Structure 1
């Protein structure tokens, strides 16, 4: 029996993808699209209690899935905000309006899976830098930022 090329296994140790603090949230790029040949992207996300996350929006070119590891995550789906607990999973197909926040008293830890693996790490890195800077961008700057990252904001 032959085996595939042993170079097809990618292992990233915890030290290679540290948790990055960004205001009331922190995230770890567990498997960025650049490491998965664009097949998917995986982010570990931690949101502090009573914190906003992402306002309702959609993506045109990729799906986004959420898996709650601990705490309670409030997800906007099907036109309403609903709480989800550890073990709950939500799949948002392309153009599906969604958002998330933490309305609870405990931190919410969850995984976000993007498919295909767009360069979403750039979105999170730029957003974290913006939060750290304390600068408030103009509405035009935010529109351009979201357009660069296939994120269409929706008023609900």
Structure 2
């Protein structure tokens, strides 16, 4: 997925700006994709509606993930334990670790996600289609 920015460009995006993907009760806003970071990372915001599930338990064979709470409380499954990530909370999940996230509250929640190395955004068109078919 190519974008107008490359690894040597400064990228400035205001709140809500980026490439938006609607996934049912989740919305992903990608701020930086792999081609903009020389394949080193992808950065996105993930927003969940109140009382909603996330993507389902999964793992990434070769990618670490970092989550940083930006609004509300996001419940994140790490292995077999749920952890509450509130605004300002940092969480690193190493590769090969089962994880998931959900919003178990009555308020909107959001996390900033760093996917290392990059490339997760390649999956977003098929993820959006899956959520459209499985509402």
Task: Report the TM-score, using the length of structure 1 for normalisation.
Answer: 0.73
Please tell me whether Structure 1 or Structure 2 has the larger radius of gyration of its CA atoms: 1
Name the structure 2 match of 1:148: none
Question: Which residue does 1:71 correspond to in 2?
Answer: 72
Distance 2:111 2:48 in 1: 8
Map 1:6-155 onto structure 2 (within 5 A).
8-14=8-14, 17-117=18-118, 119-132=119-132, 134=133
Displacement, 1:135?
5.0
Q: How far off is 1:12 after superposition?
A: 4.9
Residue of structure 1 in register with 2:4 after alignment = none
1:19 deviates by 3.0
Q: Find the aligned partners of 1:18 and 1:83 in 2 and give their Cα distance.
A: 27
CA displacement at 1:56 relative to structure 2: 2.0
Q: Is the 8 A contact 2:68 2:85 kept in 1?
A: no
Residues 52-103 of structure 1 deviation map (CA, whole Å, 9 limit, x = unaligned): 1022221111101111101110011142123221111110111122111111
Following TM superposition, by how much is the alpha carbon of 1:18 offset from its aligned partner in structure 2, in angstroms?
Answer: 4.0
SS at match of 1:131: helix
Runs of 4+ displaced beyond 3 Å: 12-16
Q: Number of aligned pairs?
A: 128
TM-score normalised over the length of structure 2: 0.83
User: In 2 relative to 1, CA 53–135 (structure 1 residues): closer, same or farther, beyond 3 Å?
Assistant: closer
